[in-house]
Structure formats: C-alpha cells, structure tokens
A and B are shown apart, each in its own frame.
Chain A
C-alpha cells in the first residue's frame, strides 16, 4: 500500500501548525471523534494526527482482515503504517484504553518513531490472574459483556450500527445518509472486543524503551487502579498520574483536566531535554 492509500484506509486527519507529530489513538467502542474536546488544544504547537483503526469510524472496512485484527499486533501495525506514511519520527503518541496498549506494542517494534507515550486508562490484561494480578474481570464478566454487546447490536438497537458502511465506490451516497458517531460493524466490534479483553501483554511492558505517562481515572471499571499501577511498576520510564476524572473516558468527561495534564507532562519533558543538552 502506498502512503496515500494508508492515509485513506485509516481516515487520517492532520491539522495544526507545529513540527512535531502528536498522534491520538482511540480506544475500543468509538473512533477519532472521541478526541474532539482535547485534540484542538494542541494544534498551535503540534501537527495533530487523528485516525480510525481499521474497522472503526470511517476507516475502509474493505481493509478489515479478521486474521490480522484478531490480536492487537495487527492494530499496532496500523499505527506503524500511519507513522511511515507520514514520515513521523519522535512523535508524541496519546492512546486511550486499548489504543494505549496498541501504542505500547508499536513503540516496542519501532521505538524511533516515538518520543513519548501518553496512556489514558491502559490495561495490560483485563482478566484477573489471582492472587497477584487484578485486571478487574472474571471470565463470566467478559462473557456477560459480550452478551451485552450482542443484545445492543441486534436489529432493533440500531444506534451502534452504521446506517451505511463506507461506500467509496458511491460517493454521492455519503452526503445523503447520516452516520452516527461510534458506529461499527457488529462482527468487527465483537472481534475487536475479543482481541482486547482476552489479551495478556504483561510480558511486553518490560521491553518498552520510550518514556511514558499513565493517566489513571478513578472508578474506572474497565481499567481499574490496580491495572494502571501494574503497568507503572513494570514499565520502565513511566510516570503515573491519578486523575480527578471518574469513569473510563476522561478526554470526553473531563477534557480540561486531560489537556492540562498532557500539556504539563510535555512541557516538563521538554524542560528535561533542554537541561540535558546543556550539560
């Protein structure tokens, strides 16, 4: 695939007038629109990159390959493809939820593409592994969650299903039909859920060489405190910040706090760099 094809495939949008790339990766259950209260705050100083993982948002559904995207490495490849298409080096990567883990995996494969990782609500494993590891879920919880998704994706609950899936061959249709945000093909969502919630990447954490910030929400049932803390203790170069925000989507529920914490981190990271280079 050539550069332009990748940018179209992942619905990549680049805005902003900085020189350094700031790449936002959405999590499970939505698309790049999740960043709309946060990303614009960075346009003055960065080249802001928004994209949809294949299968989500307005990415090209024809590129969806159930084998490739049956685990998070396939999604990490999306990130690397986009970096390569943009020629990004030393980018700042901001990932939410599973998007954070995907970024971690991408940084292990190509650390030179990333200067910093900012991870919002990350988890290396969602299933409990008692007695030592708390991911927050037992197997029956995950089955119950998949069942909830099934019931919500059925015909009569159509708010999650797209009105029309991307129809690049019929551009005249896209103006007429509205697509609600966070629309995903039900089968894709189910496989993404399995790839996300059944994964275990605890062993990968020790291999990360890119410095990072973990933003942890209070009362987050998907990425509980224990999961965030685990990442912090096992991932070298990580900082941990507990937020006032509750729930799982602080960039939607508490955008100001999210922006402020990211900005503070990036500013102190730059200050650290400057003082190092003047030694």
Chain B
C-alpha cells in the first residue's frame, strides 16, 4: 500500500483469501478491508509503528471477506522507499486455525487450573477427615 494506505497491488492469494477481484482492491483503502475494531486498532497503531520502527511484526488484525466472514490474520509490514515514495509491503498470514488452537490451549489451561483447585480442595478435606478420625480414635482408646 502507498503512504496514504491506498492499496497499490495485491497478489492472487490474497484476492482468493478475501474473495475480491484485484481490480476492486487496488485503489481502495486498506482499512476498508478490516472489521470495525481492527480499523480502529489499525488507525491508532499502524502509522506510528511503521513510521518509527520502519516495520510492523505480527500485528493481529481481522479482515472482512466478501462473504461477510471475519478472517483473523497476522500482518508483517515493512516500509520501503520506491521511486522517491514510501510504500508499505505487507504479508498477511491467515490465523484461523492458529486462533482456534490458541483458544483450545486457553480452555485447556482453565480446565487444568480448575481441576488443580478441586484436587487441592479434596486433599484438604481428606487431611481434615484424617485429623478428625485420629482425634476420635485417640479419645476412644483413652476410655
């Protein structure tokens, strides 16, 4: 995309991923391809980062496909000077499976935490009961 975030060129893979024609995408603003929250995030963070760091690594954004679906991606971008103008070369990696995997990991982690807490609770209860039993046995053996 150009410095003004208008798309200059796209490859066939991206067109296929989003379900748009190359013709339609070139000349449109990059932001128009994003969901609302991603557009907000992009407007806050992208320019400062690419202007100051000359690159952006693994920015998580959600695109809108032509069928209205949300497509999570990781964006890598680098700023290059071409013919005296700044241009941002971007690589997008679809994240759908990765996001599902991340969610599964998070769910497994919470389940594991819950199970551990339950185990601790049971262990404490067991200790309590054992103590009680010892006290009762101790009392009865004193009679």
Contact = CB atoms under 8 A, between A and B. Distances in A.
Interface of A: 28-30, 33-34, 36-37, 137, 141, 144-145, 147-149, 151-152, 156-160, 180-182, 219-222, 246-249, 252-253
In this complex, the member of A28, A149, A159 whose beta carbon has the largest number of chain B beta carbons within 10 angstroms is A159
Chain B interface residue bracket vs A? 20 to 34
A149 B59 CA distance: 10
Given A29-B44, A30-B48, A34-B48, A221 B59 contact: no
Contacts of A34: 48, 52
Given A157-B58, A159-B59, A253-B47, A246 B4 contact: yes
Interface in B47-102: 47-49, 51-53, 56-62, 74
B117 interface: no
Contact of B43 (A33, A147, A152, A220): A220
B4 A29 contact: no
A152 B48 contact: no
Interface of B: 3-5, 29, 31, 35-41, 43-45, 47-49, 51-53, 56-62, 74
A238 B8 CA distance: 39
Contacts of A36: 52
B56 A159 contact: yes
A249 B43 CA distance: 8
B63 to A, nearest CB: 13
B59 A157 contact: yes
A144 B36 CA distance: 9
A158 B3 CA distance: 24
B43 A248 contact: yes
A30 B36 CA distance: 21
Contact of B41 (A148, A247, A252): A148
Contacts of B48: 29-30, 33-34, 181-182, 249, 252
Given A181-B52, A247-B5, A141 B60 contact: no
Given A149-B41, A221-B39, A156 B58 contact: yes
A159 B56 CA distance: 7
Nearest to A36: B52
A157 B49 contact: no
B37 A145 contact: yes
A28 B74 CA distance: 22
A180 B5 CA distance: 22
Contact of A152 (B36, B39, B41, B52): B41
A34 B48 CA distance: 6
Contacts of B29: 219
Nearest to A143: B37
Given A182-B45, A249-B47, A33 B52 contact: yes
B90 to A, nearest CB: 14
Nearest to A159: B57
Contacts of A181: 48-49, 52-53
Contact of B36 (A141, A156, A159, A160): A141
A182 B40 contact: no
Given A222-B40, A222-B44, 11 more contacts: A33-B48, A145-B40, A148-B62, A157-B60, A158-B57, A180-B52, A180-B53, A219-B29, A221-B31, A247-B5, A248-B43
